[in-house]
Amino acid sequence: MRIVAEHLTHVYNERSPFAVKALDDVSLTIEEGEFFGIIGHTGSGKSTFVQHLNALIRMPSSMKRYRKKRLKKGEAPPPATVLKVGDFDLTDKKTDFYALRKHVGMVFQYPEYQLFAETVKEDVAFGLKNFAEKGKHLTEDEIRAAVGDALAAVGLDYREVADKSPFDLSGGQKRRVAVAGVIVTKPEILILDEPAAGLDPLGKQEIMRLLHAIHGGWCKTVVIVSHDMDEIAENCTHVAVFDGGRVRYVLPPAELFRKTDELIGLGLDIPLTAKLVAALGRRGIELSCDFTTEDFIRKTLALKGGGA
């Protein structure tokens, strides 16, 4: 499923003194199969954008009581807003949003705060039962199998954790159980808001490894929102940079992180590899790499080979 947004605008608290334009004419396409990164400082519109993708924020035109604004005389009609996820048209009130959400899984920031059930298996099964087709009753075996798959996908052993309270687990394990609760329905698109935030370094690596492991199977597309530029540089196929509700750049990391000055100007960090490339550049050494650690090391060592 491909994600297409065109001329997407969103205002919080519209027609009130607290009105904030969170998205301002955003156009962005995310192809199926991508491991897509979204970056931008706090308040840039990243979260508002991703919440549109599984209709947590509904387009006004998809609401029951929506009436088209009447244009004043001589006023040009605004450009048509498009928001499509695969075949789901999110601007249309007839769309089956329930079905959409089954295909688009959303993992919020600090998802472990949303754990609620008494045991891990109940917590993970909750979404599965809710998304089961109407009138269809899942058997215990089906639930057991799906929960087992989801836990295995996040690197946990069913027998070991299933009957434990999710609150007795470590921070990293809780995070993984929470992710399991989302992927248990095998969403085709998985959106994660800062999946690694707050974890220790190994916990971070582990989460990213898990995402790569499920990406490409039933999960076709992964979208991550992150402040960690190293994480973005290492993992993503394309990156969108949000700033003030607009999309400034959509580029592969290899091209994006060459724009060191522009990114710093937007109040963003750059990955360590980009800092090193820039520092080498100031010493007259041109190094062209895709900003992953592996590529940086390979190219740097090749420099030496050439010089010797």
- Residues near another protein (CB under 8 A) are 41-43, 110, 170-172, 197-203, 205, 227, 230, 267-269, 272-273, 275-276, 279-280, 282-285, 293, 296-297, 300-301, 303-304, 307
**Cα–Cα distance, 177 to 124 (Å, whole number):** 7
Structure letter (DSSP) for residue 187? -
Minimum gap (Å) between residue 159 Cβ and another protein:
18
Minimum gap (Å) between residue 268 Cβ and another protein:
8
**What stretch of H or E contains 21?**
strand 20-30
**Cα–Cα distance, 206 to 215 (Å, whole number):** 14
> Which residue's CB is nearer to another protein, number 77 or number 201?
201
Minimum gap (Å) between residue 24 Cβ and another protein:
19
CA distances from 50 to 17, 36, 130 (A): 25, 12, 22
> Which residue's CB is nearer to another protein, number 51 or number 273?
273
Minimum gap (Å) between residue 140 Cβ and another protein:
31
> Which residue's CB is nearer to another protein, number 201 or number 217?
201
**Cα–Cα distance, 135 to 8 (Å, whole number):** 36
Q: What are phi and psi of 49, to 5 degrees?
A: -65, -50
Strand order, beta sheet including 20-30: 20-30, 3-12, 82-85, 88-89
Q: What are phi and psi of 70, to 5 degrees?
A: -80, 135
Rg (CA), the chain: 22
> Which residue's CB is nearer to another protein, number 182 or number 196?
196
> Which residue's CB is nearer to another protein, number 73 or number 304?
304
DSSP-derived 3-state class of residue 294: helix
Minimum gap (Å) between residue 39 Cβ and another protein:
10
> Which residue's CB is nearer to another protein, number 205 or number 237?
205
**Cα–Cα distance, 302 to 305 (Å, whole number):** 5
Minimum gap (Å) between residue 192 Cβ and another protein:
16
DSSP-derived 3-state class of residue 55: coil
Are 45 and 244 spatial neighbours (Cβ–Cβ below 8 Å)?
yes
> Which residue's CB is nearer to another protein, number 45 or number 187?
45
Minimum gap (Å) between residue 198 Cβ and another protein:
4
Q: What are phi and psi of 297, to 5 degrees?
A: -65, -45
